[in-house]
């Protein structure tokens, strides 16, 4: 069996899971609600606060779908109960970040500021502390949407390998290059 697929999903208190006809899984919790269409071949069973996914055969396709949908449903359960957070740092002289509501303004070395509208499902916060690089903090119950928004923000100025300037995820290790070596 798939190591990921066979792992049971613990349903925390305050989270409701319903499986409707056609394998549409709906998860509701204190942070919000999410829906995911699960492959028709897989079966879902809820017993004593534990959700398990089962596959009909050991075909390669069924094995792949088993692990995939178990991971997606587990992320939904974690998202509506605890939520997800991504933090990004702006490394560079004069780099700044500010927000007004859901509108993010980035100043990252271009001749103009970059304005980016963040979806309503993602909570946006900018942190500017003296002596530390500016940070953008994103919170959401939807892991996929959060990753998409974070990747889009990072794409405005990816970290470069020589000085490390750019927008990077907090705790991300960058591969640095040596640069030019002098001739003698």
Each residue's pLDDT tens digit, 106-118: 999 999 999 999 9
Residue 35: which CATH number?
A: 3.90.930.12
- Stated pTM of the model: 0.88
Model confidence over 5-48: pLDDT tens digits? 889 999 999 999 999 888 899 999 999 999 999 999 999 999 99
Indicate if 94 and 106 belong to the same structural domain.
yes
Has residue 145 got a pLDDT over 80? yes
**Residue 125 resides in a domain:** yes
Specify the number of domains making up the chain.
Answer: 2
* pLDDT at residue 22, as a whole number: 86
Same domain, 27 and 54: yes
pLDDT at site 180: 83
Is 183 contained in some domain?
Answer: no
- Does residue 93 share a domain with residue 156? yes
Q: Is residue 130 part of a domain?
A: yes
Among the residues of the chain, which ranges form H helices? Answer: 60-81, 143-155
> Averaged over 41-60, what is the pLDDT?
92
In a domain, 66, yes or no: yes
Q: Do 89 and 77 have their domain in common? A: no
Parent domain of 126? 84-169
Buried b (16+ CB within 10 A) or exposed e, 21-53: eebebebbbebeebeeebeeebebeeeeeebeb
């Amino acid at each position: 069996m798939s190591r990921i697929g066979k792992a049971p999903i613990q349903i925390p208190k305050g989270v409701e899971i319903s499986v409707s006809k056609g394998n549409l899984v709906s998860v509701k919790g204190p942070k919000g609600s999410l829906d995911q269409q699960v492959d028709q071949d897989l079966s879902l069973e809820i017993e004593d606060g534990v959700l398990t996914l089962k596959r009909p055969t050991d075909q390669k396709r069924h094995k792949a779908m088993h692990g995939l949908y178990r991971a997606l449903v587990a992320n939904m359960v974690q998202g509506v109960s605890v939520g997800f957070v991504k933090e990004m740092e702006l490394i560079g002289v004069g780099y700044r970040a500010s927000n007004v509501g859901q509108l993010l303004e980035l100043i990252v070395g271009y001749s103009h500021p970059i304005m980016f509208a963040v979806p309503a499902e993602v909570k946006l916060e900018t942190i500017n502390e003296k002596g530390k690089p500016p940070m953008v903090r994103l919170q959401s119950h939807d892991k996929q949407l959060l990753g998409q928004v974070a990747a889009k923000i990072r794409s405005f100025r990816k970290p470069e390998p020589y000085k490390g300037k750019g927008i990077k995820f907090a705790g991300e290790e960058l591969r640095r290059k040596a640069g030019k070596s002098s001739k003698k």
